[in-house]
Amino acid sequence: MENVHENKINSAVQKNKKSKWQRISKEKWLYFMVLPGLFYFIIFKYFPMWGIVIAFQDYSPFLGVRESEWVGFEHFHYFFTNPDFLRLLRNTFILALYDLIFFFPAPIILSLMLNEIRLSFYKRTLQTLVYVPHFMSWVIIASISYVFLTTSGGVVNELISSIVGKEINFLSSPDWFRPMIMGQIIWKETGWGTVIFLAALASVDQEQYEAAIVDGAGRFRRLWHVTLPAIRSTIVILLILRLGNFLDTGFQQIYLMSNSLNRSVADVFDTYVYFVGITEGAFSYSTAVGLFKSIVGIVLIVGADRLAKKAGESGLF
């Protein structure tokens, strides 16, 4: 009796297996199609993950990963006890915080203002204009900043010196580094950031506004009780996403705007990995720094995902 039962299960399993292979062979085109992309992921995404082992070695390019000496957590120990660590943590944290305070609300405010414009031609023209900087490279943005802010004849400095009589060295002053970075990112990305909020605003039920008007709500009450609640979930999810990428200060932007005079405030984890790893050749040490950043990053993203789900959103994954 039991045997019969077992046989049945076996044959069912076999049948299932067979049908799986049959399905694969029947749809082999799908697998041929997926192969090039799969190769890409294995070679350029997964292979470097294996390369992380050099963070635990004294990697030498001549010996390779197999022959290099293992040193355990030595590089991590060195990094955490190094004064660089606190400086990087502080710079990264402050830039991320500035980003949340100054940049994050900008697209929300701009889309609320754009949404109040009823002349559709004017609105569309404005949108077209404010989207443009998003498509420019950081090199272009940084170059334009140099041209405008330089003390040798930059437009902004000539204006300032004609008013207050002296120039401000924006480009190489540690005090001006953070405001300059914030100014650039607000200028480049605020307009683009409105795309998603304007879409959310476009889907607000117009009857709610009419009802609010009937109830005697003025403009700001309508904004507060109808418009903002309507885009609240978009704001929350984007805020949580931003928290998940808290450590990801824009590498290209910061690299381009940093120089030996403002490095004390400009160095963040990403630029440090580049300078120590690529320009100074400390492969193992900078891989360890990068790994530390990645792990903190994952913890933040997973944490943000939990937060999103707690906030009643569907989560990030």
What residue has token string 């450590």?
A: 247
> Of 97 and 211, which CB lies nearer to other proteins in the complex structure?
211
What residue has token string 């039962």?
A: 5
> Of 50 and 72, which CB lies nearer to other proteins in the complex structure?
50
Minimum distance from CB of 95 to other proteins (Å)?
Answer: 18
Beta-carbon contacts of 42 under 8 Å, excluding residues fewer than 6 positions away, are none
What residue has token string 């949404």?
A: 115
Minimum distance from CB of 7 to other proteins (Å)?
Answer: 26
> Of 7 and 166, which CB lies nearer to other proteins in the complex structure?
166
> Of 4 and 228, which CB lies nearer to other proteins in the complex structure?
228
Minimum distance from CB of 86 to other proteins (Å)?
Answer: 21
> Of 93 and 274, which CB lies nearer to other proteins in the complex structure?
274
Minimum distance from CB of 17 to other proteins (Å)?
Answer: 11
Q: Which helix (H) or strand (E) holds 58?
A: strand 57-58
How far, in Å, CA of 249 to CA of 268, rounded? Answer: 8
Tokens of 303: 């944490």
Burial of 287 (0-12, 13-18, 19+ CB in 10 A): buried
Tell me the angle at which helices 228-244 and 283-310 cross, rounded to the nearest 10 degrees.
150
Q: What is the largest CA-CA distance in the chain?
A: 101
Minimum distance from CB of 287 to other proteins (Å)?
Answer: 4
